[in-house]
């Protein structure tokens, strides 16, 4: 047995732990042209992590997913307000409905989640990334939408990161070169490129990222999977 990390297209990811906890990150399901599943295919979620409020991350499914699964949502306070207005109960938002902020952590269903900074834009709150420590210590870093920044090195030093989910699409996030350099800072064992090909303006394939990563961070194994596929850690 192992933990399973499935890419649902764009920034959406689904982690199923060895013990059966399910974590959704940025579940833009409805309307996501590269998502291989439907909202109703998600039967279980214990945690939903939202990096920021752009449509391709927050999406429109979170209130329904919370209702159908009872998941707890991790968001910043400003986005907690947005979700409450959309019908999500405070009981389903982290820290008694208050949300949390950069540097903070929450532990739910045996999974520890730390919110970290990301450099991007959004309407409410600030963009974030997440470091997710599973019950056996395996650690996943979803950077959120961001350019490269030197504190990624700090995260690599503080947390022993097994898997990094990094955007490579350019236009809105890191391009393939920045994403490759980010791996040299984060030092994960494995990396999955995300946030590309969804729209015509984005980088259309992972070839350049794979090539640059082999030069900038040769010790990192890059797994360029297709939406719907998963990696085990």
Residues in the site for Zn ion, rule: CB under 5 A?
56, 145
CB nearer Zn ion, residue 9 or residue 188: 9
Question: Which helix (H) or strand (E) segment is 79 a member of?
Answer: helix 77-85
CB nearer Zn ion, residue 56 or residue 230: 56
Token code pair at residue 43:
């039967």
Q: Provide, rounded to whole angstroms, the least separation between the CB of residue 60 and Zn ion.
A: 15
| 57, 28 Cβ separation under 8 angstroms | yes
Q: Cβ neighbours of residue 206 under 8 Å, at least 6 residues apart? A: 168, 176, 193, 196, 222, 224
Q: Provide, rounded to whole angstroms, the least separation between the CB of residue 171 and Zn ion.
A: 9
Q: How many residues does the chain have?
A: 233
Q: Provide, rounded to whole angstroms, the least separation between the CB of residue 189 and Zn ion.
A: 25
State phi, psi for 199 to the nearest 5 degrees: -120, 155
CB nearer Zn ion, residue 46 or residue 56: 56
CB nearer Zn ion, residue 46 or residue 145: 145
Q: Provide, rounded to whole angstroms, the least separation between the CB of residue 147 and Zn ion.
A: 13
CB nearer Zn ion, residue 32 or residue 184: 32
* Three-state SS annotation for 138-179: CEEEECCCCCCCCHHHHHHHHCCCCEEEEECCCCCCCCHHHH
In the DSSP assignment, the letter for residue 4 is E
Q: Provide, rounded to whole angstroms, the least separation between the CB of residue 120 and Zn ion.
A: 8
């Amino acid at each position: 047995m192992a933990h399973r990390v499935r890419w649902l297209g764009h920034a959406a990811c689904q982690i199923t732990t060895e013990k059966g906890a399910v974590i959704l990150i940025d579940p833009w399901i409805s309307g996501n042209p590269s998502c291989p599943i439907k909202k109703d295919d998600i039967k279980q979620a214990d945690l939903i992590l939202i990096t920021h409020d752009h449509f391709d991350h927050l999406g429109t499914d979170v209130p329904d997913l919370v209702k159908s699964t009872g998941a707890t949502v991790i968001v910043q306070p400003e986005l907690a307000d947005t979700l409450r207005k959309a019908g999500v109960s405070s009981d389903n938002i982290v820290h008694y409905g208050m949300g949390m902020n950069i540097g903070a952590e929450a532990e739910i269903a045996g999974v520890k989640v730390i919110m970290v900074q990301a450099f991007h834009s959004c309407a409410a709150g600030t963009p974030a990334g997440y470091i997710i420590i599973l019950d056996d210590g395996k650690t996943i870093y979803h950077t959120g939408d961001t350019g490269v920044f030197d504190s990624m090195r700090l995260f690599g030093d503080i947390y022993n990161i097994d898997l990094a989910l990094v955007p490579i699409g350019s236009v809105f996030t890191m391009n393939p070169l920045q994403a490759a350099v980010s791996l040299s800072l984060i030092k994960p064992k494995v990396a999955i490129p995300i946030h590309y090909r969804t729209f015509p303006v984005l980088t259309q394939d992972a070839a350049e990222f794979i090539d640059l990563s082999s030069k900038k961070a040769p010790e990192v194994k890059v797994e360029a999977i297709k939406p719907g596929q998963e990696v085990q850690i």
